[in-house]
Amino acid sequence: MLPDEAPPEAHVWMGPGRHLVTYPLGPGERNIVAVLERDGWAEEGWNHADDPANLRAAFAGFAPELRGWLDRVDEVKLWGLFRHPVAARWQDGRIALLGDAAHPTLPFLAQGANMAFEDAWVLADCLSCLPQAQALADYQQRRRDRVVWVIAAANANARNYHLRNPMLRGMAHSALRLGGRLLPAAPLKRFEWLYGFDVTI
Ligand SMILES: Cc1cc2nc3c(=O)[nH]c(=O)nc-3n(C[C@H](O)[C@H](O)[C@H](O)COP(=O)(O)OP(=O)(O)OC[C@H]3O[C@@H](n4cnc5c(N)ncnc54)[C@H](O)[C@@H]3O)c2cc1C
């Protein structure tokens, strides 16, 4: 299947120490985010070019349609992903942190930007009705537990997507496939705490 023939859906492929996500951008265009665990990383930044052959080699054993898509990739940008703890304190005096500065997350739940938006709403809400020092302290208190949960769930996805033990991986993938067929709504139900949450209430 070529990218322009693929249904307009996001796909996730999982393998030992790696996974790959694709989603449609526009007619005939898909973005591909490939994640590979490595022992070392030195450079900071979003714009390091890499050889597309490295991408193809890392995902060579994956599904045939994916290999077809990777063959058409002619530009690759490389960046590092790191785990950092949630900051102990997000505010001091007249300053408050929000988003990744306070609580960076691995992007494996696609929630980092959402958390920044939610932070912004809560911060504005606190500032609209409390004196500043108390508003900033309340803002952190209202947000902390939720972002800790979200980050833990993203970390769990990292673990589950990248299972290295072939038996565990086979069992997990079969369960996902079967679950998807028998109870397609179940995964969404499981994430009701995440997607059903309304920060404005
Ligand atoms: C591969 C990948 C996929 C992702 N997918 C999703 C997704 O699907 N959904 C989702 O919700 N999130 C996703 N995220 C996470 C999301 O991109 C981040 O969580 C989000 O951008 C954080 O927003 P922010 O405003 O806190 O920080 P940033 O977006 O990092 O913004 C900080 C800004 O501050 C600027 N800056 C830094 N230092 C200075 C300085 N000294 N002076 C002035 N400016 C400065 C930076 O240049 C930057 O523009 C993904 C992240 C990655 C890496």
Domains and CATH numbers, the chain: 3-78 (no CATH), 91-195 (3.50.50.60)
Q: What is the pLDDT, as a whole number, of residue 4?
A: 59
CA 101 to ligand 1: nearest atom: 26
How far is it, in rounded angstroms, from Cα 186 to Cα 71?
A: 34
Q: What is the pLDDT, as a whole number, of residue 185?
A: 80
Task: Measure 82 CA to ligand 1 centroid, in angstroms.
Answer: 13
pLDDT greater than 60 at residue 180 = yes
pLDDT greater than 70 at residue 2 = no
Q: What average pLDDT does this structure show over 95-120? A: 96
The percentage of the chain sitting over the pLDDT mark of 70, rounded to a whole number, equals 97
Alpha helices, DSSP H, located in 59-165: 64-71, 112-129, 132-161
Whole-prediction pTM = 0.88
Long-range contacts of 158-163 (CB under 8 A, 24+ apart): 158/106, 158/108, 160/14, 161/12, 161/14, 161/19, 161/35, 161/108, 162/14, 162/15, 162/16, 162/17, 162/18, 162/19, 162/37, 163/14, 163/16
Task: Measure 99 CA to ligand 1 centroid, in angstroms.
Answer: 8
The catalytic position among 23, 139, 161, 195 is 23
Task: Measure 109 CA to ligand 1 centroid, in angstroms.
Answer: 15
Measuring from atom 28 of ligand 1, which residue has the nearest CA? 100
The percentage of the chain sitting over the pLDDT mark of 90, rounded to a whole number, equals 56
Measuring from atom 3 of ligand 1, which residue has the nearest CA? 107
SS3 153: helix
Task: Measure 138 CA to ligand 1 centroid, in angstroms.
Answer: 24
Q: What is the pLDDT, as a whole number, of residue 154?
A: 95
Least reliable range by pLDDT among 26-40, 96-110, 175-189: 175-189
How far is it, in rounded angstroms, from Cα 182 to Cα 58?
A: 32
To test the pocket of ligand 1, the residue of 35, 100, 117, 191 to mutate (highest count of ligand atoms within 8 Å of its CB) is 100
Active site residue 195: no
pLDDT tens by residue, 56-88: 999 998 888 888 889 989 889 998 988 899 999
Q: DSSP assignment of 23-60, as one string?
A: EEEETTEEEEEEEE--S------S-EEE-HHHHHHHTT
**17, 7 Cβ separation under 8 angstroms:** no
Q: What is the mean pLDDT of the chain?
A: 90
Pocket of ligand 1 (CB under 6 A): 33, 99-101, 107, 110-114, 116
Amino acid at 167: M
